């Protein structure tokens, strides 16, 4: 087990600097254009693939970094560049984590490489969990998967929403209800392979922020997938459902479902995204405060501005500490006994909203225009308190963990 440390080793520093260079030289110059276009920045994703950032090998190396800092370091640097473009680059990772968290070794080896494609044929993947009437309330999910034993196929019907890369992805990972009586315990995850009949894109959303990232509904109308596309396999699913039914009879409630397993694994990474956006806005505000003069002196000489910057930097560093601790715990098998993963996501996401708002304020009228990037960063930051569990849900998870009550 790696010891927890806040000091990156030489190899990690080299990777961090490489990522920072890509974010500064490729992502940032393209950020305003793709935000205005509200389209997937395929040229930037292709550039990321060419240099090795958008690849299974790179993310596997970071995912299995024994210190746990590979993924948060990667997320912070890319999202420092731009949140919308960065989410287009890393969005496939959520689907990949869904397979890693629930799939067999064969499924992992078969499907994750197909999610990324290669430098000549770049692809993206989508994780589909939320529904029009089931966001935070996963127990209200209505998408159904029914097993056709005669054909060894699962038939999936329903509508998913808020799916990053939904409809434009090759591989879709879909969470569906297999046993309605068990509520959220009766869910399972399925691979929907490229070109499967019955899967189509619904509404594409025009968003407040992260506009370079494609977000859409996914319609599943009589989608049939082979039995081998059930993540984890049917034997494992049957055993899990049997345990859930037994616990339900005895009054037990603590059974982890497929969607929650994915979100638990990814929450510190979302916190790192928020840290990257907050840091970017802070740096713009700091540079502006040092150079902008009013009443014959730089505005950073005014205590009101200087204290804001001090608070911004303190909050960012505290958020990073929580994210790195949770990431280290996760990779080293330390249980989140106090919901440390949710703590990191909660604090970092709220920090990003506050820091970007303060950056706009420090820039004054300039900060409110699109001539300066803090306006876009402020719009982007709102998503961190919403997706993969709202701030309210994070507080609920933390509170119930501390109280010993079941998380419903």
Of 77, 246, 388, 392, which residue is the catalytic one?
A: 388
Cα dist from 263 to 16, 117, 184, 259, 271, whole Å: 25, 24, 14, 6, 12
d(CA 131, CA 172): 15
d(CA 20, CA 131): 35
CA angle 346, 348, 352 (to 5 degrees): 120
Classify burial at 281, counting beta carbons within 10 Å of its beta carbon; exposed 0-12, middle 13-18, buried 19 or more.
buried
Cα dist from 395 to 249, 329, 342, 351, 406, whole Å: 29, 20, 8, 15, 14
**Local structure of residue 135 (DSSP, 8 states):** S
Which structure tokens are listed for 99? Answer: 């397979």
Contact partners, residue 208, CB within 8 Å, separation at least 6: 379, 382
Helix (H) or strand (E) holding 187: strand 187-192
265, 97 Cβ separation under 8 angstroms: yes
Known catalytic membership, residue 388: yes
Name the 3-class secondary structure at 224: strand
d(CA 187, CA 259): 8
Name the 3-class secondary structure at 225: strand
134, 140 Cβ separation under 8 angstroms: yes
Query: Among 75, 105, 91, which Cα is nearest to 40's?
Result: 91
Classify burial at 261, counting beta carbons within 10 Å of its beta carbon; exposed 0-12, middle 13-18, buried 19 or more.
middle
Helix (H) or strand (E) holding 260: helix 258-291
Task: Catalogue the active-site residues.
Answer: 388
């Amino acid at each position: 087990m790696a010891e927890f440390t806040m000091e990156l080793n030489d190899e990690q520093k080299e990777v961090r600097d490489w990522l920072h260079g890509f974010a500064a030289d490729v992502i940032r110059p393209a950020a305003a254009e793709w935000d205005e276009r509200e389209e997937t920045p395929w040229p930037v994703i292709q550039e990321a693939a060419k240099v090795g950032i958008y690849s299974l090998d790179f993310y596997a190396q970071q995912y299995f970094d024994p210190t746990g800092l590979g993924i948060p370091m990667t997320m912070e640097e890319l999202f420092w560049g731009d949140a919308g473009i960065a989410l287009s680059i890393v969005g496939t990772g959520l689907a990949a984590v869904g397979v890693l968290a629930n799939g067999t070794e064969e499924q992992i080896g078969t499907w994750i490489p197909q999610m990324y494609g290669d430098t000549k044929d770049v692809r993206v993947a989508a994780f589909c969990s939320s529904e029009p009437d089931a966001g935070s309330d996963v127990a209200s999910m209505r998408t159904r998967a029914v097993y056709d034993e005669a054909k060894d196929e699962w038939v999936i019907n329903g509508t998913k929403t808020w799916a990053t890369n939904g409809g434009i992805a090759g591989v879709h990972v879909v969470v569906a209800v297999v046993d309605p009586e068990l509520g959220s315990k009766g869910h399972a995850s399925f691979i929907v392979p490229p070109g499967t009949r019955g899967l189509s894109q619904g509404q594409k959303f025009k968003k407040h922020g992260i506009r370079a990232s494609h977000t859409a509904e996914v319609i599943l109308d009589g989608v049939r997938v082979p039995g081998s596309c059930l993540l984890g396999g049917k034997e494992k699913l049957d055993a899990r459902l049997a345990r859930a039914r037994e616990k339900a009879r005895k009054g037990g409630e603590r059974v982890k479902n497929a969607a929650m397993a994915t979100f638990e694994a990814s929450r510190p990474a979302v916190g790192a995204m928020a840290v990257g956006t907050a840091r970017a806005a802070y740096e713009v505000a700091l540079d502006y405060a040092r150079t902008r003069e009013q009443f014959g002196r730089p505005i950073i000489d005014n205590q009101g501005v200087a204290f804001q910057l001090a608070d911004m930097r303190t909050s960012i560093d505290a958020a990073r500490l929580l994210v790195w601790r949770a990431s280290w715990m996760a990779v080293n098998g330390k249980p989140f006994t106090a919901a440390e993963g949710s703590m990191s996501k909660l604090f970092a996401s709220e920090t990003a909203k506050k820091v970007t708002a303060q950056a706009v304020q420090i820039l004054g009228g300039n900060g409110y225009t699109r001539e300066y990037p803090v306006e876009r960063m402020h719009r982007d930051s709102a998503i961190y308190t919403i997706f993969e569990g709202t701030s309210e849900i994070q507080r609920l998870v933390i509170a119930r963990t501390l109280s010993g009550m079941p998380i419903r």
